[in-house]
Chain A
Amino acid sequence: MNTQTATTDEYRVCNTTGLNIFRKAEWFVKANAVLAVIFLLVGAVAALLLALTRWSNVMLLSDVWYYRMLTVHGVNMLVFWIIFLEMAILYFASTTLLNTRLFSKKLAYVSLVLMTIGAIATNYIMFAGQADVLLTSYPPLEAHPLFYLGIILFAVGALIVCFNFFATLYIAKKNKTYEGSMPLVTFGAATAAIIAVVALVHGAIALVPTFFWSMGWTEMMDPGVYRLFWWGLGHHSQQINVAAMVAVWYFIATMSTGAKPLNETVCRAAFILYILFINLAAAHHLLVDPGFSAEWKMWNTSYAMYLAVLASMIHGYTVPASMEVAMRRKGFNKGIFGWFARLPWKDPGFSAVALSAIIFGFIGGITGVTLGTEQINIMAHNTLRIPGHFHATVVGGTSLAFMGLCYYVVPLIFQKDFYLKGLARIQPWIFGGGIVIMSLGMSFAGTYGVPRRTYDSDFSGATLETGFDPVAHIMLGILGIGGILAFIGLLLFILLVVAAVFFGPSLKGKKMPTWQTPEAQKMTDDLISRGYEEEGKDYKHIKTPGTVVLVLIFLLSFAIYYFANWAALADLWHIR
């Protein structure tokens, strides 16, 4: 177990960052990233079909295939794509950034095999039409046992990766492979891993008994209790995504602009707030459920949860502020927003992350906190406002940030260059733009009460007729158009990445080609090379007026949306 004397068989030195990349861990970064993209493609094809079905003038699929594809889409996107990519992040953040070998290659293989078998099994049974229960699989709705078993195997695999990650942190500390504290990106990844363990334990409590029930071994779990624990999985998983996404924000901010966290204490404290205060937030899926008292609902959504909101609001300042300082240090000091215009917008890694932060904050975050308010939830629960919210957090936020990360992973880890870089530069805008349009279409349709998870919004053929305002149907059309645009952006991403990884020019022994002008890259490299050496020397006096204006606009938008919803609520019938 002695790793003090690393050899070149064990690692290579990155020609771009100078960091040591451990070959065994690198293989698992690649394997998990490739699997992630495969399941992303499956989920994306389903997504396009769904958007073209909810578009009420198109209604592409049959009812059976709509619900089947909805199950396929949810499971592949929210579980397989995003968790496989997070596993890749854990391998990278623990080994390369801490300059250590991986704790156990065997465990890594075991986890990879379990996760792959689980993902294939669950996909098989969904496509076989024996698990049309949607992602949440609420009992008494029952799927084939293989559906639950596949997800359980996948989750066990993910738990093993988390264990391998923590063990790697431990051996790095024990072997003193780095000085001082772990880097912020690793700290963020560790946050994600800790939340992942909590999420997966909740998942086991909900899904293992449900698997037994589907086998006929036990009684059905109480549907209300199932929801409580399932959302312990379902919502915590989103916090894994948020923590991993914010870690990626910090990573790309450094790589693309040379940004340095303004204050490590603040950034790390914000991550700790995620760990401590997010585990109660599952409650905001249960706000209009029977069986919970008003006190329970309010406690679990406000006092505790809002400290996690505080954490996101802190990151929402510290990330752009660190970029502003970096840009001002490079001399882009003109006015309040001169630095903003000179950010590396031509770098798809950067633009993806910038759009991710904007979409996550301005659309996903504001709607999420508002809709997760006990009373306001009455006019949001299970309407299209909910997917309108979470497509802005988990797709426009997390998935887009992960795409941005891939524009660095391909040259740095796979050591391959991209073709068609012009297309790569506009890809985040097409995808992000599509998601924004789709998300707004969903949200506005939802304000008319259009339900989520429903094949025919007009319920045509029902005994008692119903229907929606024509404007709601226009919104469903906007949803469809946004969905098509996002799909084009996503397909472009997959084509670019696959072409580069399998057929791209090799970058072995070379520095990563810059996405920016050589001069801009030199300024960024210069900042990165100075690292922490000049702590507190020459930039403490630099103010961040641009970021302050941005976050104040954010707070104002937040307050307007929040109180507008209370005003709308006051128009409803009285209910208690």
Chain B
Amino acid sequence: MSIFHPKGNWFRAPTGSERMWVGLALVWCLVMSITMPWWHFQGKQNAPSETYEVDPAAFMERVNQFVDAHQVDEVNGVPIVEPPPGGDAYLMGQMWRWYPVLKLKEGQTYRIHVSSVDLQHGLSILPLNMNVHVLPGYDYVMTVTPTTSGEFNIICNEFCGIGHHLMTGRIIVES
């Protein structure tokens, strides 16, 4: 009678199948609690945490330097930039584009600096479906090793104003 007042001392430990279920649920919660740190050490896919404070204007300047230094081609007027394997790459979220197009090599590791120079954006690499959140003022470093090759599209998946559904980019991975 969940609407009436229990009287007297109603305190008692669970018994029978209720006790079994509480125990089983607790075990399952512990399994999930252990899986996450286990994967942190053993797994190859972990959420990046390396972050630096950056002024949006300074970040844009670094992006432009990066493009000038490593541009190899262009597509639809967007520069294609090939960072040195193992080196730093830059990806800028701006209303409404991901700039520039990156050209990477399969199996090589890159430190991709992602930031926004205006609103919040969502970096989403397709069709892999890999996503991170991008904030202005935060230089977020994703240490990424492409394990597949081909052309990968980038979209924005955080609302960033009326042109949000036009905000795309690209990563090209050579085998």
> A residues near B, CB below 8 A?
17, 19, 63-64, 67, 70, 97, 132, 134, 138, 140-141, 178-185, 222-224, 227, 250-251, 253-255, 259-266, 286-294, 297-298, 301-303, 306-307, 309-310, 313-314, 317-318, 321, 369, 373-375, 377-383, 447-449, 451-457, 459, 461-469, 528, 531-532, 535, 543-545, 547-548, 551, 555, 558-559, 562, 566, 569-570, 572-576
Given A183-B2, A223-B120: A379 in contact with B153 (beta carbons within 8 A): no
- Among A303, A317, A369, A375, contact of B46 (Cβ-Cβ < 8 Å): A375
Which residues of chain A have C-beta atoms less than 8 A from B11's C-beta? 264-265
Asked if B148 lies at the interface with its beta carbon under 8 angstroms from chain A, I say yes
Between A and B, 20 residue pairs with Cβ closer than 8 Å are A140-B120, A181-B10, A265-B12, A266-B22, A292-B49, A298-B40, A306-B33, A369-B32, A373-B35, A378-B132, A381-B122, A449-B126, A449-B129, A459-B168, A466-B153, A532-B1, A551-B21, A555-B24, A575-B145, A576-B48
Q: Are B120 and A180 in contact (CB under 8 A)?
A: no
Which residues of chain B have C-beta atoms less than 8 A from A184's C-beta? 2-3, 6
Which residues of chain A have C-beta atoms less than 8 A from B169's C-beta? 464
Which residues of chain B have C-beta atoms less than 8 A from A453's C-beta? 157-159, 164
Which residues of chain B have C-beta atoms less than 8 A from A263's C-beta? 12, 14-15, 18
Which residues of chain B have C-beta atoms less than 8 A from A383's C-beta? 124, 129, 131, 157
- Among B3, B20, B32, B75, contact of A373 (Cβ-Cβ < 8 Å): B32
The proximity string for B residues 110-134 relative to A, scoring 1 for CB distances below 8 Å and 0 otherwise, is 0000000011101011111111111
Q: Are B36 and A302 in contact (CB under 8 A)?
A: yes
Q: Are B32 and A306 in contact (CB under 8 A)?
A: yes
Q: Are B3 and A17 in contact (CB under 8 A)?
A: yes
The proximity string for B residues 150-167 relative to A, scoring 1 for CB distances below 8 Å and 0 otherwise, is 000111111111101111
Q: How far is the CA of A50 from the CA of B131 in the complex (A)?
A: 24
* Further 8 A-B residue pairs, CB within 8 A, beyond A298-B37, A459-B165: A140-B118, A291-B51, A302-B32, A314-B22, A465-B168, A535-B10, A555-B28, A559-B28
Q: How far is the CA of A295 from the CA of B68 in the complex (A)?
A: 37
Q: How far is the CA of A350 from the CA of B73 in the complex (A)?
A: 65
Q: How far is the CA of A253 from the CA of B130 in the complex (A)?
A: 43
Given A382-B124, A566-B39, A572-B130: A138 in contact with B158 (beta carbons within 8 A): yes
Which residues of chain A have C-beta atoms less than 8 A from B132's C-beta? 288-290, 378, 381
Q: Are A288 and B131 in contact (CB under 8 A)?
A: yes
Which residues of chain A have C-beta atoms less than 8 A from B3's C-beta? 17, 19, 97, 183-185, 251, 254-255
Q: Are B142 and A575 in contact (CB under 8 A)?
A: yes
Which residues of chain A have C-beta atoms less than 8 A from B20's C-beta? 548
B133 to chain A, nearest CB (A): 5
Given A375-B39, A459-B168, A574-B145: A548 in contact with B17 (beta carbons within 8 A): yes
Given A182-B5, A290-B140, A555-B28: A449 in contact with B21 (beta carbons within 8 A): no
Q: Which of the listed residues B76, B129, B140, B145 has the most CB atoms from chain A within 10 Å of its own CB?
A: B129
> B residues near A, CB below 8 A?
1-8, 10-18, 20-22, 24-26, 28-30, 32-33, 35-37, 39-40, 43-49, 51, 75-78, 97, 101, 109, 118-120, 122, 124-140, 142-148, 153-162, 164-170
Q: Are A464 and B14 in contact (CB under 8 A)?
A: no
Q: How far is the CA of A544 from the CA of B136 in the complex (A)?
A: 55
Which residues of chain B have C-beta atoms less than 8 A from A545's C-beta? 17
List 7 tightest A-B contacts by C-beta distance, closest first: A451-B157, A290-B140, A180-B7, A449-B129, A250-B2, A466-B153, A306-B29
Q: How far is the CA of A448 from the CA of B40 in the complex (A)?
A: 25
Given A223-B137, A291-B51, A374-B47: A379 in contact with B130 (beta carbons within 8 A): yes
Q: How far is the CA of A459 from the CA of B165 in the complex (A)?
A: 5
B69 to chain A, nearest CB (A): 22
Which residues of chain B have C-beta atoms less than 8 A from A457's C-beta? 165
A274 to chain B, nearest CB (A): 14
Which residues of chain B have C-beta atoms less than 8 A from A465's C-beta? 153, 168
Q: How far is the CA of A11 from the CA of B48 in the complex (A)?
A: 60
Which residues of chain B have C-beta atoms less than 8 A from A253's C-beta? 2
